[in-house]
Amino acid sequence: MSRLAILLGCLLLMPACSAQEADQQGEAHGDSEIIVNTITQGLHHPWGMAVLPDGDLLVTERRGRLLRVAPINGETRRIGGLPPVDHRNQGGLLDVTLHPEFARNGWVYLTWAGKGEGGNATHLGRGRLVEDRLVDFETLFVATPFVDSGIHFGSRLTFDRTGFLFMTVGDRGERSRAQDLSDHNGSMLRLDENGAIPENNPFVDREDAAAAIYSFGHRNPQGAATHPVSGRVWIHEHGPRGGDEINIPAAGANFGWPIQTYGREYFGPEIAPDEVEGVTGPIHHWTPSIAPSGMAFHEHPRYPEWHGNLFVGALAQTHLARLTLDGEQVIEEERLLAGREWRIRGVATAPQGGLYLLTDHQNGRLLYVTPKRDQHSNTP
């Protein structure tokens, strides 16, 4: 088939290939066959994405740009009205999510690394999407204290079923912060939709604790998703050399970093203790490290073979992990895209039933992935 014919075929699909690349061939990975389509490329270190009601996507780039991408043809438009960001090292514009009632109120939520006295911090803000601009933008919350560091911002966002907004914050590379309840860093935060602190947060009555903290002892959580059945928020986080974890945050729970880990430290003791009294352990961990980033539950009837699976991107081992679950237990793991050398930064379920993926490179891609059934299996 000619390249022209492939490109013309792509225009009939949604999502489809961009004019930059047609990548329609099915590929065998592990025990599954999948089809990979490149919607667009040329994204500069994309980090987060959110699917709009009309099917377009909002995609963040760490350098401080928010793009609206049309899956039908890969066309991108830049969104204005954003805050300034500190995009050194791992910082910049990070996650994006929509208010649960976005169709009514238009609220778009962003996290970013922002400068302040003493260094920088993970910020949360929101604005209303009006055409190609965020209007009425306001900063809702800043994870303090500011730290002179360029790493471990955490920064994933997800709303739970009751409307609380959960926000992850990494330890900023200073591990003791994760056990310090007076410090937002190294924690999962729970906020109201306007950034206020809920009255029933676990530490609101403690003078020695930050009231926004929901759980603590987290190293650098870069994945968060709300389970479609239980409604509970799940996260994953980077370990040091190994010990990447999947955790299910609970009110007031300590998830152990750095006093408990399955990984090897970069300094100090060779291996921290595996079990410490009062620490909640992970439901799953990876050693050696895969460097997980982005996660999504799949609950679309179009592809029942993926129903109930959890998908996790991997930066260091450059693959997409497909986890089969039995309740809150991981019973099987499969690695997809392992031969591509793509750093999978973001994962989202598409309205058409496949998965959207972001690759974290200077020339990053937005991909659409489906199981392979026949040559038209990726047609919505």
Helix (H) or strand (E) holding 336: strand 329-336
User: Which two three-digit tokens encode residue 152?
Assistant: 């471990």
Q: Which residues pair with 359 in a beta bridge?
A: 344
Give CA separation, 130 vs 68, 75, 80, 104, 108, in Å: 12, 18, 10, 12, 10
Strand 233-237 versus strand 244-247 pairing type: antiparallel
Q: How far is Cα 22 from Cα 8, in angstroms, rounded to an integer?
A: 10
DSSP 255: -
Taking the C-alpha atoms of residue 96 and residue 319, their distance in angstroms, rounded to an integer, is 22
- CB-facing half-sphere around the CA of 268: CA atoms within 13 A: 12
C-alpha 205/C-alpha 217 separation (Å) is: 20
Residue 249 near residue 286, CB atoms below 8 Å: no
Are the CB atoms for 309 and 323 separated by under 8 Å? yes
- DSSP letter at 83? P
Q: Please measure the distance between the N-terminal and C-terminal CA atoms of the chain and give it in whole angstroms.
A: 22
Half-sphere exposure of 6 (CA within 13 A, CB side): 15
Q: Which two tokens stand for residue 335?
A: 């690695």
Q: Which of 168, 169, 128, 122 is nearest to 141 (CA)?
A: 122
Q: Name the residue among 258, 144, 264, 257 with its Cα closest to residue 210.
A: 144
Q: Is 99 a catalytic residue?
A: no
How far lies 136's CA from each of 44, 105, 107, 126, 130, in Å? 26, 12, 10, 8, 10
Say which residue the tokens 């003493």 belong to: 118
Residue owning tokens 């592809």: 303
Of 116, 42, 26, the C-alpha closest to 369 is 26
Q: Which of 152, 218, 236, 238 is catalytic?
A: 152
The answer to whether 159 touches 166, Cβ cutoff 8 Å, is yes
User: Which positions are annotated as active-site residues?
Assistant: 152
